[in-house]
A and B are shown apart, each in its own frame.
Chain A
Amino acid sequence: MRKYRADLHTHTVLSPCGDLEMSPVNIVQKARERGIDILGITDHNSTLHAPLIKELAVKEGMMVLMGAEVTTKEEVHCLCFFEDEEKLSEFQKYLDQHLPKMPNDENKFGYQVVVNEKEEIIDEVECLLISGLSQSIEEIERKVHDLEGLFIPAHINKMMNSIISQLGFLPPDLNVDALELSHHITKEEFLKKNKYLSKYNFIKSSDAHYIENIGNTWTNFFMEDLSFEEVRKALRAEEGRKIELEE
């Protein structure tokens, strides 16, 4: 087994709260500097920047997990990842269909722009991306797994937009591939108060909105090679693959 360093939760300039420096080129460069092997691209309710970042990262020998940080109807944030562009674009259609048509006020929330590798703006998303979808967490989980994706409730220890803040506790029958903790807490501290979650596997990520935060929190993945299936097995601790927090 090899050890890989993964930061699976990062925002680009497309997220209204993502800094303008968070262009695909800058993100890939910073992730490389920080020794990241697996980079997750998770803008709020949009996947539009992920393919370009993947294209740039592959040249650097890095793996990119293309996805989004989806806001459910209950306002729970969940990381969702897909293996290829076909499944990703299928999921993007689902997001477009269920995101409320509320216009973004860029003075209040920030810009929602898609840029190319020359950092020229090629598109601007009009609907506010931080709204909640009209779909429940179970409906979104089913959609992600129908597309053979990965589903990870984000920063579940936080008292905002986490499954625990919004729904009180993790529904035991929700099919998750792992759970994410924020850097504010150790797994041990978290499990002291949440013993019922001991059987789950946990990742930690940077949740970077600014370039200097890319890769400053990560999870170690132990697996055979850099592939989507290996990542899935590691998250689920199958066939000797595993994940370990760096705390």
Chain B
Amino acid sequence: MIVRDIVEKLGLKVCSGENGLNREIEGGYTSDLLSDVMGNADENHVWVTLQTHKNIMAIASLKELAAIVLVKGYEPEADAAEQSNEEGIPILSSEEEAFELTGKLYEIINQAK
């Protein structure tokens, strides 16, 4: 399962980092505390959050995450989008809330395993 698959299946908007759409996804993590994500998300996870600050990209890069999905139609701050393009880690956006989106992601990632 790659990032492009979840974009297509869940109708996500690609805000930035389009060159990373072929990154492999192996699981996911949902949290809005970046300190928590730093401690608990794993490599190749897709991360669901409402935080749009540029620090989300530093965490994603450090933890080698597959992609970030912003909920409720949020868009990344300009400097976050810029770093996402540079690093090739996509920032996606969904109109849904974290609860619904996480449920759907959980289902399609597990089905693909």
Q: A residues touching B (Cβ–Cβ < 8 Å)?
A: 73-74, 136-137, 159, 164-169, 171
Contacts and interface: CB of A to CB of B under 8 A. Distances in A.
Contacts of B32: 166
B72 interface: no
B33 A165 contact: yes
A168 B58 contact: yes
A167 B55 contact: yes
B35 A171 contact: no
B38 interface: yes
A74 B35 contact: no
B72 to A, nearest CB: 13
A99 B32 CA distance: 20
B36 to A, nearest CB: 8
Interface in B24-51: 32-38, 51
B55 A168 contact: yes
Nearest to B77: A136
Contacts of B37: 168
B33 A171 contact: no
A74 B53 contact: yes
A169 B33 contact: no
A164 B36 CA distance: 10
Contact of A165 (B35, B53, B58, B59): B35
6 contacts: A74-B51, A136-B53, A164-B35, A169-B55, A171-B54, A171-B55
Given A137-B53, A166-B34, A166-B51, 13 more contacts: A136-B52, A136-B53, A159-B35, A164-B35, A166-B32, A167-B51, A167-B53, A167-B55, A168-B34, A168-B38, A168-B55, A168-B59, A169-B55
Contacts of B77: 136
B54 A168 contact: no
A70 B58 CA distance: 25
B91 to A, nearest CB: 16
Chain A CB count within 10 A is highest, among B32, B33, B36, B59, for: B33
A171 B80 CA distance: 12
Contacts of A169: 34, 55, 58
